[in-house]
């Protein structure tokens, strides 16, 4: 008897719980806002029309020197002359540093004496060999000694030339690393020379704009330091490979100006205006919903928003070219799409 009462009590409890849950669900559903499907939604619209699409892209970069090199000697020794100072303008082939060459000159002088002796021996052996007074091998050995000494002289003369350090091109001494009297080793930097007779403006161009540039193209360049001056540059390099963000370095060579001198490290910018298309059907960018792979547009037809799939082509910062799915004069929704479904009544605001 107790078991039966327990079972009935459990069933009653479960039934009461189920009834309570169902009743609460009904109460919650009554409180949830349900939009009226016949109530028009306010949206903003624009008219699809023909327009000439063009876009001006501005690219900012910084100037780098045409050439820059650290002057490094090919010989080691003590610097006995250093006739350069930082900031000095220096021509090509001008002396930067002279290293002590006294020991090399002594070696050259000794070899020259040795060579002279071998040459005198050669003359004597030539006479003796003709008279069969000495074996011909002595003549051959002397000739080989002369050739060996001449090779040693060439090596020492090269070493002597390496003690004179000159500039490979004209420029400005932007850094001096040593002083007169310093002892330097082979390859140690002595000074840095920078050539800014021409400069290179390097800008990072995104993938979608890289086809606007071509080698040899002339472009106007603006600078922050001379806002009223305009420089002309020429595209000298377009990178074959971009970075991880799909940006490609483009190098524009600019001739420096005596009136408005530029310096390496200054900012410069180029504005490249391109015509994307002639007269073509276009809509504002805000009209596109979905993705670029599956673009869609809400079109107002008979007071309702009709969702249509479209094809897009060229693009600017403001407009998309429409290649299919629309016609000129169609009214498209540009704001309020989040509240729309296919067939939702709308009212243009």
Which pLDDT score, from 0 to 100, does residue 11 have?
Answer: 55
Instruction: Mark which of 158, 184, 210 sits at the end of a domain.
Output: 184
| Average confidence score pLDDT of the chain | 86
What tens digit of pLDDT does each residue of 82-101 get?
Answer: 999 999 999 999 999 999 99
Q: Which of 16-25, 64-73, 183-192, 205-214 has the lowest mean pLDDT?
A: 16-25
Note whether residue 97 is domain-resident.
yes
* pLDDT given at position 33: 46
Give the lowest-confidence range in 72-76, 141-145, 288-292, 333-337. Answer: 288-292
Are 164 and 98 members of one domain?
yes
Specify whether 85 is located in the same domain as 180.
yes
**pLDDT tens profile 60-82:** 999 999 999 999 999 999 999 99
The residue to which tokens 């107002």 are assigned: 300
* Count of structural domains, the chain: 3
Strands 41-47 and 344-348: parallel
pLDDT at 199: 94
Q: Is residue 288 part of a domain?
A: yes
Who's near 208: CB < 8 A, 6+ residues apart? none
Question: Looking at the structure, do residues 307 and 336 belong to the same domain, yes or no?
Answer: yes
Same domain, 315 and 166: no
Classify residue 172: in a domain, yes or no. yes
The C-alpha angle with vertex 114 and arms to 111 and 117, in degrees rounded to 5, equals 150
Separation in Å, CA 50 to CA 18, 159, 279, 320: 63, 75, 6, 11
From 217, 248, 277, give the residue that closes a domain.
Answer: 277
Of the candidates 273, 211, 271, the one whose C-alpha atom is nearest the C-alpha of residue 53 is 273
Q: Write out the residue range of the structural domain in which residue 164 sits.
A: 69-184
Q: Tell me, yes or no, whether 171 and 83 share the same domain.
A: yes
Whether residues 83 and 160 share a domain: the answer is yes
* Residue at 11 is within a domain: no
Q: Would the pLDDT of 28 be above 80?
A: no
Measure the CA–CA gap between 297 and 316, rounded to whole angstroms. 18
Beta bridge partners of 231: 221
pTM as predicted: 0.59
Which residue in this structure is represented by tokens 């009226």?
36
| Residue where a domain stops, chosen among 227, 252, 277 | 277
Across 132-144, average pLDDT: 84
Residue 5 located in a structural domain: no
224 in any annotated domain: yes
Q: Is 282 part of any domain?
A: yes
- 111-125 confidence digits (pLDDT tens): 999 999 999 988 888
The tokens describing 299, both together, are 């079109």
What percentage of the chain carries pLDDT values higher than 90?
56
Q: Are 254 and 233 in contact (CB under 8 A)?
A: yes
């Amino acid at each position: 008897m107790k078991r039966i009462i327990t079972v009935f009590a459990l069933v009653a409890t479960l039934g009461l719980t189920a009834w309570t849950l169902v009743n609460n669900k009904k109460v919650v559903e009554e409180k949830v806002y349900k939009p009226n499907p016949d109530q028009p939604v306010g949206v903003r619209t624009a008219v699809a029309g023909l327009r000439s699409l063009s876009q001006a892209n501005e690219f900012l970069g910084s100037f780098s020197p045409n050439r820059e090199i650290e002057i490094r000697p090919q010989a080691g020794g003590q610097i006995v002359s250093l006739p350069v100072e930082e900031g000095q303008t220096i021509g090509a082939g001008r002396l930067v540093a002279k290293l002590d060459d006294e020991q090399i000159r002594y070696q050259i002088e000794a070899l020259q004496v040795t060579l002279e002796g071998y040459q005198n021996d050669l003359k004597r052996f030539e006479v003796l060999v003709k008279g069969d007074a000495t074996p011909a091998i002595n003549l051959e050995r002397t000739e080989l000694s002369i050739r060996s000494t001449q090779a040693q002289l060439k090596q020492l003369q090269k070493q002597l030339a390496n003690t004179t350090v000159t500039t490979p091109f004209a420029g400005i001494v932007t850094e001096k690393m040593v002083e007169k009297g310093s002892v330097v080793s082979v390859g140690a930097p002595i000074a840095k020379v920078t050539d800014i007779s021409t400069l290179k403006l390097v800008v990072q161009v995104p993938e979608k704009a890289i086809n606007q540039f071509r080698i040899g193209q002339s472009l106007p360049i603006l600078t922050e330091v001379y806002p009223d001056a305009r420089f002309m540059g020429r595209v000298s390099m377009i990178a074959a490979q971009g970075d991880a963000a799909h940006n490609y370095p483009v190098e524009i060579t600019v001739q420096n100006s005596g009136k408005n001198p530029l310096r390496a490290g200054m900012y410069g910018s180029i504005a490249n205006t391109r015509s994307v298309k002639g007269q073509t059907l276009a809509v504002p960018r805000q009209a596109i919903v979905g993705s670029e792979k599956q673009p869609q547009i809400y079109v107002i037809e008979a007071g309702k928003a009709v969702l249509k799939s479209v094809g897009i082509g060229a693009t600017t910062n403001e407009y998309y070219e429409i290649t299919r799915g629309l016609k000129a004069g169609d009214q498209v929704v540009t704001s309020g799409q989040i509240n729309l479904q296919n067939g939702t009544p709308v009212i243009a605001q």
